[in-house]
Chains A and B, each alone.
Chain A
Amino acid sequence: MTPREFNHVGEEALRFEARDKVTGRAAYVHDLELPGMLHAKVLHSPWAHARITAIDASVARDLPGVKAVLTGEELPYLLGLYMVDKPILARGKVRYQGEPVVAVAAVDEATAERALALVRVDYERLPAVLSVDAALAAQTLVHEDIGRLEYIKGAFFPVPGSNIASWHKTIRGDVEGAFAAADYIMASELSLPQVAHAPLETHVAVAKADPCSNRVEIWTSAQSPFAVRNLLAKAFGLSHNEITVRVPFVGGGFGGKAGIHLEPLAVALSRASGGLAVKIRATREEECNQLPCREGLRGRIKTGVSRDGRITAMQVCYDWDGGAYADYSVNIGRAAGYSGAGPYEIANIELHSRTLYTNKVYGTAYRGFGHLETHWVIERHMDMIAQKLNLDPYELRLKNLLREGSLTISGERIAADSGRPDHCLQAVAKEIGWQGYRSQAEREAALKSGKARGKGLAALHKAPAMPSTTATAAVMQLNEDGTVRLMLGAVDMGQGVYTVMAQIAAEVLDLPLHKVKVVAETDTDKNPYDWQTVASKYSFMGGNAVMRCAQDVLRQLKETAARVLRCPVEELAHGGERIYHVHHPDKALSYKQLAVGYGFENGNGIGGPIIGHGRYIAEGLTNLDANGQGLPALDWTYGAHGAEIEVDVETGEIEVIKIASAFDVGKALNPALARSQVIGGVVQGLGSALCEQFIYTPEGRLLNPSFADNKIPTAKDIPGQIVPILIENPQLDGPFGARGVGEHPMISVPSVIANAVYDALGINFFELPLTPERIALAVAKQENQAG
């Protein structure tokens, strides 16, 4: 038997907050009540695009129990992560149906609702921009003042007088020449609609403003406590010290709770109510039509291919249906600029990624940050190239995958330790028994039998999309008994980050896991800084910070121990919760003896409480230049899916028999939790593949803002089998070799299903979701053409 490499890293430790979650004791903002707390309700725009001509809220203000009524006129603020474009309540005009126009804080929700019913708003309707084509035509502008909006220069490129919130370009190589020399040129257009994140806990925030000072306290179901503080400070002109943001357990985020959402309105209402606490909780309908969703996308792609299947040239245009405000969508558009060709080596590329304003609910980050969408385009297109060239799509992918020494489309050289997309693809192909497309004869026979089976493959990659100077920190204090308190800036919304960080701390300190406590509420007054819990970056960045933090603790323990044991620090080692002399292991001091300072027998004390800290800032990343060239990626996590499905030819229903999903995680810090991410992410991806979509009326009203009409997968919709495969080619600068894998399992799931549907039916689909109607109609059309 080989000795175990690690004691805690790689162990399947149970998530430590699970006990609180199965007893109902875990506290969410949803459950928070403060003395005298008011409840807020919001009046929404009934129109997709309209001028507000008058608001009369006088009757509502007089209703007993109403403490504050606010309209946009009283809130002259604009907020935004990248484009500063979003008012707290609509000002002058409304830009999507569901946009908040008036807000009321009252003694309870029922009173607030009664008050809203007494508010009169007059609108003058404007033509609405409801598609990417309408947005590009720019007959109507969603933001007339686009040319005057504040934004982060150099990273985003708004086009004045248009609906283009940002136009990102990536240009590399000789695209024209490569197309001219190509043996084949293939073009396709694919699209997918907006979808809802659907966390089970809707957005909710409580704010309490101090009436005698600028101080503000906020409790929020959010992924970015420090970003909430930062954006609020900027918008309201406050010092960061005047704002406290607390995030307890979060009932699901998936990107939808990144950034800032209900918090500013809660703060404004609390101020207007003389400082009483105010709670705003989105209803399920508001979660869909007021709060952001995943943006829609239309992708047009053209590739030049050599006879043997090398992709030599690529031209892509991604047009993002970003909705009324830019939020994260412009940065999603930017991320597509360096990852939007898929995990392939493409020497000559011209990529345009345009984030467009439309009069729809606005888009934001959603698990994968645009990569599910771009991989829908790329991974479907890859299969169609294989069909045209009569190649095996597996071989075609292998031939073009990134490998050591390849250059990405932003000019980054892939290193030996960057991970192996080919290993992922090989693993899933083997797992599903991939043997190439079935023949047309096989397909026809299956169609006659009424049940057609097919298999498919799809690959993926993603790096954290974040500013080049993104940073995080960890702080650790020893308690009197030698146990450890670990403080992080990250939020655990179910991904298990606290458990994994405790494992890393226990590993470095050589402590039993139960002796490490991660403080479970993130509080910007107490916890160290973290940029945001997004982008699958925390295992890597937080993991490194926690390692350094634990090493700092060890250094301090040894410093005190060296003075007690009267030896050089270099001769000390640690193990078994003790600091000991390497040559005389019995000369030792326990962590407990050193934790808050050592006391000699005569009463003298030395040392003092041990507090370690560790920091990590993304190192070596650069901005992108005007051609989209630079080093934006901290690390790439590669993956692949293989699926086997069966289509009911009559009803068009797709049954997923098996899906195998492999990711090169570098090192699985906790394989059980990593598998949980894979299984959960794959099922979430199946929602996007098979059933989820926002549907609008021709006037731009969202038709299905509920679970009844916008179905997400239930226990009855899961595949027969999901096989998570964790591949471990270590990343040298990752903690113990690890890379992030939180978002990746969802990426390319729609692509792999549609590729399998092609194998089954011989029909290519270009739009999502793959509903039974869409499939059945296409089958009928094909039969008609054949017959």
Chain B
Amino acid sequence: MREQPSNTGETGGTDRVRLSCVVNGEKVSALVEPHLTLLSFLRQELKLLGVKEGCGEGECGACTVIMNGNAVNSCLTLALEAEGARILTVEGLSNGGGLSALQEEFVKHDALQCGFCTPGMLMSARALLDRNPDPGTEEIKEAVAGNLCRCTGYYPILEAITAAAKREREGEQR
């Protein structure tokens, strides 16, 4: 278990509150300012820098993480809302070193260019495949519609998610 002292938001002087949750399978406990966002908690406290900030206003999806099975914009979520929750970030996708099928298909289909949207995109895709292992193209588009990508034109991303879904249905470990 990791004990995190929180010093973000510092000089304001609100009372800190204890937050306990599970991040990428690891128990985490920390004292946090009530107004701290989940995004800042993950990036600044836990140093999970794969979680990106593209707007901080809930409009781009770069900060997407999975909380209790749902893809959420961590910039719009308060850290304290994650009390007791299970959080998955991009860092938790490749268990034990090897890439997951989803990550591999992103690589194979060239579903990324600058890569800045990629962590969030992967998490929206992951949440979709967890609730629907056989999504159609429209469902995939719907699931990643909140994740903006300025580079790829989205097609390779849709193809990658479709291919990953197929592999996972065929019994491959994700």
Binding site for B on A (CB under 8 A): 14-15, 17-28, 30-31, 64-65, 107-108, 110-111, 197-202, 249-254, 283-284, 493-496, 672-673, 676, 679-684, 706-708, 712-716, 718, 722
Contacts and interface: CB of A to CB of B under 8 A. Distances in A.
Given A201-B54, A718-B155, A22 B112 contact: yes
Given A26-B115, A199-B116, A249-B114, 8 more contacts: A22-B93, A22-B94, A200-B60, A201-B52, A251-B115, A284-B56, A706-B59, A715-B158
Contacts of B115: 17-18, 20-22, 26, 249, 251, 494
12 contacts: A22-B103, A23-B50, A107-B10, A284-B55, A496-B113, A672-B110, A684-B150, A708-B57, A714-B146, A715-B149, A716-B142, A718-B155
Contacts of A495: 113
Contact of A494 (B53, B56, B151, B154): B151
Tell me the interface secondary structure of chain B in the complex: loop
Contacts of A684: 150, 153
B144 interface: yes
A200 B116 contact: yes
Size range of the chain B interface in the assembly:
35 or more
B8 A108 contact: yes
B107 interface: yes
Contacts of A681: 153
A679 B93 CA distance: 27
A680 B151 contact: yes
Interface string B101-124: 001001110101111111100100
A18 B152 contact: no
Contacts of B114: 199-201, 249-253, 493-494
A506 B152 CA distance: 27
A683 B52 CA distance: 23
B90 interface: yes
A30 B117 CA distance: 13
Contacts of B31: none
B111 to A, nearest CB: 9
B107 A18 contact: yes
Contact of B112 (A18, A107, A111): A18
B152 A23 contact: no
B110 A15 contact: yes
Interface of B: 8-12, 48-57, 59-60, 62, 89-91, 93-94, 99, 103, 106-108, 110, 112-119, 122, 140-142, 144-158
A200 B8 contact: no
B56 A23 contact: no
Given A24-B50, A249-B114, A14 B11 contact: no
Contacts of B119: 24
Contact of B117 (A24, A200, A202, A253): A200
Given A22-B107, A200-B114, A493-B114, A65 B59 contact: no
Given A111-B11, A199-B150, A200-B54, A716 B145 contact: yes
A682 B73 CA distance: 28
Contact of A680 (B57, B147, B153): B153
Given A284-B56, A715-B158, A251 B49 contact: no
B55 A24 contact: no
A712 B54 CA distance: 13
Given A17-B115, A22-B122, A682-B153, A673 B59 contact: no
B156 A30 contact: no
Contacts of B146: 714
Contacts of A672: 110
B125 to A, nearest CB: 11
Given A198-B150, A712-B150, A18 B50 contact: no
Nearest to A707: B59
Nearest to A685: B153
